Chain A
Amino acid sequence: MSENTLNLGSPALPDKAEQSATFEDVLRARDRLKVLKTRAAKSSLRLLWLLAGPGVLVMLGENDGPSMVSYATTGATYGIGFFAPFILLTFLMSYFVQEMTVRLGVATHRGHSELIFQRFGPFWGYFAMGDLVFGNLLTLVTEFIAIQAGGLYFGLPSWLSVAIGVALVLGSLGFRRYVTWERALMGLAAFNLLFVPAALLAHPDGAALGHALATWGPLPGGFTTAFLTLVLANVGATVTPWMIFFQQSAVVDKGMTRADLPQGRMDTAIGAILAAVAAIATLVATAPLFAAKVDVSQFASGADFATALQPLIGTTGATLFALGIVEAGLVAAMTISTSSSYSLAETVSARHSLNLNFANGRLFYGAAIVSTLLAAGIVLIPGAPLLAMTLTVNVIATLLMAPALLLLLLLANDREIMGDLANGRWANLAGGTIVIAIALVGALYGVITTFPSLLPK
């Protein structure tokens, strides 16, 4: 700890530590003991395996229902040209943002909400919390829309898909053990890569992909409203407020320390690479729709893409695509509802950990349960404007990102809590550029959504 770091006293002096410890601490200590032994044995790969999780989950979690629909719409409208390298750039941006949350987590052992409340006071804290709860609830609705849409492809009625989704999300909370929850979700999140075989079944042209990555082209149609909308949707598909709150809280719940920072960074980088691969694979898988000049503007969900792809990439490819959409919604529903739980409990200084039992974590688990049931209920309202909601949620997430990023930057520069892990010049340059870019992108998104005739269609 650096000399400038705040000293909060020693609430758990060594001789009193075992007296003040809770069962939650014991569970976390068991996980830490494994990490310490593995580090002592100098087993790098196992150490990375033990410490991986928050980064992979946040990145693959953000490859959610609306994000995959955005990538699919992009591929079907523009092919791979400009957007393959652009998606790589957005994930690079996402890495810079999320890496700050890892540093905050290991330096302070506090979640993002509690740091905002404690350092900036309740006025800014409640604003941040309001943004998050509002954004998370809307996003959660779109995840159930994705689950429902994927189910429709397989002939399941909406209520059944949504009910299965709710059961799985709530069931995941039943582990009452952070590490089990994390590993189960990582296993599920691996299915995000189903988009890769779907892309291979589209028989992509490797040379064209290489050319696109090298030249950022071609860009058919030029600079239009549709192009700008997809640029903005793709940005909104990689950086959103829930990711900041989730990863920092998960890093803390996992018990990561300053010594684990290199592995935390690698976890985030691996997550970003896997998510970028899945996103570009979605682009490639739907590119045949662009070649066949299929009009996707009237598509209502990811299931429509799967149906339209069937004659072009075969039943297997289309089925993989639909399964991928279901997985995207499911993993995101689990991570986003947990993000709400962490933040709400941190806000009211209630205990917050996936290591808690239900009795000690009533508010923590209650927040996830209520938000999940509410979101699922909204999806089942007859005649609910689901497509319009999916598109609007992307806009709102992008708009809410700028203030969330500013608070993140302020905390990451707070030397009193960060010590020598505070942002350096380059991190601030990257972070500042991202805040400005996101704010401009959000403003532009709002303007073209409201005044769509400003640019040629």
Chain B
Amino acid sequence: MRYDSTLIGALEPDQLAAAKMRPYPRRNLGRGVLTLLILLRVYVAIAIPVVAYAFVHALLAPQ
């Protein structure tokens, strides 16, 4: 559909929905960044089961 160009001109070109569908290229992650990302992932992977255990433990504890 064709819309009023003055109105559409209020948007920057890369604000149009069609423009936003074009992805940015992938970025190379350095070894340091990857290590940090993996460390924090391990931190979450360990911590969540611990919290789940605490949750279940609290539920099963006598009131």
Q: Which residue in B10, B29, B44, B51 is a CB contact (below 8 Å) of A449?
A: B51
Residue contact B4 to A353, C-beta cutoff 8 Å: no
Residue of B whose beta carbon sits closest to that of A356: B17
Given contacts A12-B19, A22-B17, A119-B24, contact A127 B41 (CB under 8 A): yes
Chain A window 254-286, contacts with chain B (Cβ cutoff 8 Å), 1 for yes, 0 for no? 010100000000000000000000000000000
Residue contact B51 to A399, C-beta cutoff 8 Å: yes
Residue contact A385 to B9, C-beta cutoff 8 Å: no
Chain B window 16-32, contacts with chain A (Cβ cutoff 8 Å), 1 for yes, 0 for no? 11111111111101000
Q: Please report the C-alpha to C-alpha distance between residue A217 and residue B10 in the assembled complex, in whole angstroms.
A: 52
Most chain B CB atoms below 10 A, which of A6, A21, A110: A21
B51 to chain A, nearest CB (A): 5
Q: Please report the C-alpha to C-alpha distance between residue A26 and residue B3 in the assembled complex, in whole angstroms.
A: 8
Residue contact A17 to B24, C-beta cutoff 8 Å: no
Residue of A whose beta carbon sits closest to that of B29: A120
Interface of A is mostly: helix
B2 to chain A, nearest CB (A): 6
Measured as residues with beta carbon below 8 angstroms from the partner, the interface class of chain A is 35 or more
Q: Which of A373-381, A402-410, A421-429 contacts B (4 or more CB under 8 A)?
A: A402-410
Q: Which residue in A12, A118, A442 is a CB contact (below 8 Å) of B23?
A: A118
Q: Which residue in B8, B18, B26 is a CB contact (below 8 Å) of A121?
A: B26
Verify if A294 is at the interface (C-beta below 8 Å from B): no
Residue contact A12 to B5, C-beta cutoff 8 Å: no
Chain A window 362-396, contacts with chain B (Cβ cutoff 8 Å), 1 for yes, 0 for no? 00000000000000000000000100110010011
Verify if A112 is at the interface (C-beta below 8 Å from B): no
Most chain B CB atoms below 10 A, which of A25, A36, A127, A351: A25
Q: Which residues of B contact A17 (CB under 8 A)?
A: 5, 8-9, 11, 13, 16
Residue contact B21 to A396, C-beta cutoff 8 Å: no
Verify if A446 is at the interface (C-beta below 8 Å from B): yes
Q: Please report the C-alpha to C-alpha distance between residue A119 and residue B12 in the assembled complex, in whole angstroms.
A: 22
Q: Which residues of A contact B23 (CB under 8 A)?
A: 114, 117-118, 349
Residue contact A257 to B12, C-beta cutoff 8 Å: yes
Q: Please report the C-alpha to C-alpha distance between residue A127 and residue B16 in the assembled complex, in whole angstroms.
A: 28
Residue of B whose beta carbon sits closest to that of A127: B41
A13 to chain B, nearest CB (A): 7
Q: Which residue in A9, A33, A400, A416 is a CB contact (below 8 Å) of B27?
A: A416
Q: Please report the C-alpha to C-alpha distance between residue A110 and residue B21 in the assembled complex, in whole angstroms.
A: 9
A137 to chain B, nearest CB (A): 14
Q: Which residue in B10, B29, B54 is a CB contact (below 8 Å) of A33?
A: B10
Residue contact A9 to B22, C-beta cutoff 8 Å: yes
Q: Please report the C-alpha to C-alpha distance between residue A114 and residue B13 in the assembled complex, in whole angstroms.
A: 18
Chain A window 47-70, contacts with chain B (Cβ cutoff 8 Å), 1 for yes, 0 for no? 000000000000000000000000
Q: Which residue in B11, B17, B48 is a CB contact (below 8 Å) of A399?
A: B48
Verify if A143 is at the interface (C-beta below 8 Å from B): no
Q: Which residue in B15, B37, B50 is a CB contact (below 8 Å) of A403?
A: B37
Q: Which residue in B7, B26, B40, B47 is a CB contact (below 8 Å) of A118?
A: B26
Q: Please report the C-alpha to C-alpha distance between residue A446 and residue B54 in the assembled complex, in whole angstroms.
A: 9
Give the B-binding residues of A (Cβ under 8 A).
6, 8-14, 17-26, 28-30, 32-33, 36, 108-110, 114-115, 117-121, 124, 127, 131, 252, 255, 257, 349, 351, 353, 385, 388-389, 392, 395-396, 399-400, 402-403, 406-407, 410, 414, 416-417, 439, 442-443, 446, 449-450
Given contacts A21-B18, A349-B21, A439-B40, 15 further A-B contacts (CB under 8 A): A12-B19, A17-B9, A18-B4, A20-B19, A21-B8, A23-B1, A25-B8, A118-B26, A120-B29, A353-B17, A388-B58, A399-B47, A399-B51, A403-B37, A442-B43
28 sampled A-B residue pairs with Cβ under 8 A: A6-B25, A11-B18, A12-B18, A14-B9, A17-B5, A17-B11, A19-B2, A21-B8, A22-B17, A23-B1, A29-B9, A29-B10, A29-B11, A109-B12, A109-B14, A120-B29, A127-B41, A385-B59, A388-B55, A388-B59, A399-B43, A402-B43, A403-B41, A403-B43, A406-B36, A417-B24, A446-B47, A450-B53
